[in-house]
A and B are shown apart, each in its own frame.
Chain A
Amino acid sequence: MSLSRPDRDAALSPGRRQPAEDAAGEGRGRAIAEAAGLPREAPGDRTGDATGPVLIGQAAHPLPPMPQGALDILAPMHLVLDATGHVIHAGPTMQKLRPDVPMAGQRFLELFELSRPRAVDSMAALLASAGIKLHLRLRDAPRTALKAVLAPLLPDEAGRAGAVVTFSFGISILDGIQTYTLHSGDFAPTDLTIEMLYLIEAKTLAMEASRTLNLRLQGAKIAAEEQAFTDTLTGLKNRRALDHILARLIRTGQDFSLMHLDLDWFKQVNDGHGHAAGDYVLQHVARLMLDETRAGDTVARIGGDEFVLLFHNLTKRARIEEIATRLLVRLEQPVTFEGAVCRISCSMGTTLSSAYDAPRADQMLADADAALYASKHSGRGRHSFHVPPPG
């Protein structure tokens, strides 16, 4: 572009047409000059006459025509079209989109495909879309999507007007920058594109740092949970804690009994009244079991509605039977959650450490489980002791 000779064929007034220059790019001085005045107003509103510069926004003074090259500075991504819809000048950045083929001389609608507004197939239709946002893409590869806006130039004596179209990459700026290797200097200094690119990179880095922190915190949380001994819903001990305590009891040779307790009809509470009701019932049951056991005993939730109770230093069947009966009576009292009455019961099975020569945790858990299933099979809502095999 001839920025170094800004006054070359500058300031041709709209009236002084030079027909010979029209077809080629030499008429662009006129075209740019005309861009200063937009024939947007209805004829009655015009302050100037039909051929003189028309005022933008009812300005009090007519604007002088712009010199050649002014638009290249102000809007490096622009095209100037003649009345036939052919490009007569491409701004320097616009031309970078097709570095090997001059855009000047090509028909605008053959270069670009409009997706909004649709059905624009003539210069007249293009001019009718003046001032609104145009969505378009280049027809040949790379088919970059662009946004544009068009302003008509002053019409000639025959009433035929060209147009100026300015473009931006819009949200596809990252692709645009990468596809065409553009530089800071390719954008007008007032254009916020570079700031936007800066912001995208800066935010990406900051997000990355936050993500790294989140991942580390998540890892730490998982590790902490894995090491935790507490069931988060009920506050009871969890399976991990149970395994530790059970192992310690066996190792130290203490007498104890192990009760496996499974809620009956709990699934109906969950299905009928929702998981919030189910959670509420579990918390209620947990409190109740803590109430009915001694401070030194262990109450653990080992599954959805499964619990294991360890009665330390207690292997008297009668005493355990008493506890089981009280647990059953209290568990069967209906619980009200948000107006819904929830009814459950429980089945229990217990084994005693004294029943083994050398108690093993897995064996005791399996035996209590078998006793529990005996309770289930004989009608639920009851307690059974494990019966050691004879011999």
Chain B
Amino acid sequence: MMHGLINRSLQCFLRDTYGAALWGDVVADADLPVAEFEAMLTYEDALTFRVLDAAEARLAKSRATLLEDLGTYLVSHPHNEGLRRLLRFAGVGYEDFLHSLDELPDRTRLAVSDLDLPQMELRQLSGNRYRITCSAYPPGFAHVLVGILRAMADDYGALVMLDHAGHHQQEEVIEVTLVESAFAEGRAFDLGARAG
């Protein structure tokens, strides 16, 4: 079963980015039994993929692009300030953030006990090069992660190069080169400023 939070994120991404009309088309094309997903319920996996298929067709975008845009949206859209803040709790710098990916599923479970994120593993290849491997299920998760990593780099003011290095058996691989950790100003993170 797919957690409602994931489906709801997808819905909000499509609606906030492309408008309510597009979301309405996607609901119809995907033949969804509901007009909206509830964040705190679970749904058949197939529904999520029908939504992705419908959105790809409507927007003429590849699955990879769509999912990466979703990842970026999750961090950078004003509606998701709460989520951005939760990710920023990971550490003071982008490197801290990368190293915190290992514990992201556990952190997520602390907040929502039945939301299982794929396990991620970070390996430092050399001084500024990292390889992230994550489970290939749900398929495409790595593309979402690339979007998140890119947006978080902006958030921290770091300059990174990201490369989805493709499938490797049951895993997907992302390569990260941290060119400069303090490249730009980045966005503020004030511990005390809770997102409404």
Contacts and interface: CB of A to CB of B under 8 A. Distances in A.
A and B together in one complex: yes
Interface string A164-183: 00000000001001110111
Contact of A174 (B91, B112, B192): B192
Contacts of A216: 38
Interface stretch (A69-77, A131-139, A196-204, A334-342): A196-204
Nearest to B96: A184
A37 B111 CA distance: 41
Interface residues of A, number: 25
Interface residues of B, number: 22
A182 B191 contact: yes
Contacts of B85: 201
Contacts of B107: 198, 202
Contacts of B193: 178
A17 to B, nearest CB: 40
Nearest to B41: A213
Interface in B69-114: 82-83, 85-86, 89, 91-92, 107, 110-112
Interface in B11-53: 38-41
A385 to B, nearest CB: 53
B122 interface: no
B91 A206 contact: no
Interface in A205-221: 205-206, 209-210, 212-213, 216
A370 to B, nearest CB: 50
Nearest to A214: B40
B192 A213 contact: no
Given A177-B191, A205-B111, A209-B5, A198 B86 contact: yes
Contacts of B190: 181
Contacts of A213: 38-41
A223 to B, nearest CB: 15
Given A174-B192, A177-B192, A184-B92, A202 B110 contact: yes
A211 to B, nearest CB: 9
A302 interface: no
Contacts of A204: 194
A185 B111 CA distance: 23
B92 A201 contact: no
Nearest to B194: A201
A179 B112 CA distance: 29
A148 interface: no
B195 interface: yes
A203 B193 CA distance: 16
A209 B39 CA distance: 7
A234 B24 CA distance: 42
A62 to B, nearest CB: 37
A10 interface: no
A30 B190 CA distance: 37
A210 B40 contact: yes
B19 to A, nearest CB: 22
A123 to B, nearest CB: 34
Contacts of B110: 198-199, 202
A365 interface: no
A194 B192 contact: no
A202 B111 contact: yes
A182 B192 contact: yes
A163 to B, nearest CB: 30
A216 B107 CA distance: 28
Determine which residue in B41, B191, B192, B194 has the highest number of CB atoms from chain A within 10 A of its CB, and name it: B191
B191 A206 contact: no
A203 B109 CA distance: 11
Contacts of B89: 194, 197-198, 201
Interface of A: 174, 177-179, 181-185, 194, 197-206, 209-210, 212-213, 216
18 contacts: A177-B191, A179-B192, A184-B91, A184-B191, A185-B92, A197-B191, A198-B89, A198-B110, A200-B194, A201-B85, A201-B194, A202-B86, A202-B107, A204-B194, A205-B82, A205-B86, A205-B111, A206-B111
